[in-house]
């Protein structure tokens, strides 16, 4: 439920130090690094940054915000128009679960029911660094749709921290999965 709201017209990098405590009480220090850019370039409709070899968990709030921005209504579900080449990485549903499966372009992933968007993870190929673009279509609760792109920057950031990026004027929602993975 934590959201970062950049100041109007701010672009640049914001670093927020934090302490994480594991279930044994051990403290781990890190930084949340938020890159706020302008509307130009390859920022995508939804964008994520990750270190080489580190997975990215999708957040339903990002897709719901996209649906509201584009259609004026909450999101119902998404469908992927195409999937990335396996040389770049693979999208998984319930990646860290024994019932893990690859994401499909013929499956709808929902905001409020199974299969959940929050259970989708992008796992980059171990040797890949660069940018991955994943096109999707969002279907809202009023029956309208909007197309967009997920942009994932792999190999940016230290790998020891949690990284987010956003366009200027857009909010960034923190994901509990990112902190748990950290």
pLDDT band per the 50, 70, 90 thresholds, residue 170: confident
Predicted pLDDT at 40 = 42
Mean pLDDT on 119-148: 92
Sheet containing strand 120-124, strands side by side: 56-57, 120-124, 89-93, 101-102
Q: Which residues pair with 149 in a beta bridge?
A: 135
Percent of the chain past pLDDT 70, that is, above it, reads 91
User: Which pLDDT tens digit goes with each residue over 42-63?
Assistant: 445 888 888 888 899 999 999 9
Give the pairing type, strands 101-102 and 89-93.
antiparallel
Q: What is the pLDDT of residue 160?
A: 55
């Amino acid at each position: 439920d934590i959201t970062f709201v950049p100041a109007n017209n701010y672009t640049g990098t914001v670093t927020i130090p934090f302490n994480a405590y594991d279930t044994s009480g051990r403290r781990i220090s890190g930084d949340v690094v938020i890159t706020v850019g302008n509307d130009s370039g390859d920022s995508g409709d939804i964008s994520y940054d990750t270190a080489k070899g580190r997975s990215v968990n999708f957040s339903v709030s990002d897709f719901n915000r996209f649906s509201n921005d584009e259609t004026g209504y909450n999101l119902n579900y998404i469908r992927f128009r195409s999937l990335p080449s396996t040389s770049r990485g693979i999208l998984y549903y319930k990646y860290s679960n024994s019932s893990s499966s690859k994401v499909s372009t013929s499956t709808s992933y929902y905001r409020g029911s199974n299969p959940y968007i929050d259970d989708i993870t992008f796992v980059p190929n171990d040797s890949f660094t660069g940018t991955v673009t994943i096109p999707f279509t969002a279907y809202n609760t009023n029956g309208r749709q909007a197309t967009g792109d997920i942009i994932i920057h792999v190999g940016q950031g230290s790998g020891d921290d949690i990284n987010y990026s956003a366009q200027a004027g857009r909010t960034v929602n923190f994901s509990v999965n990112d902190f748990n993975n950290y």
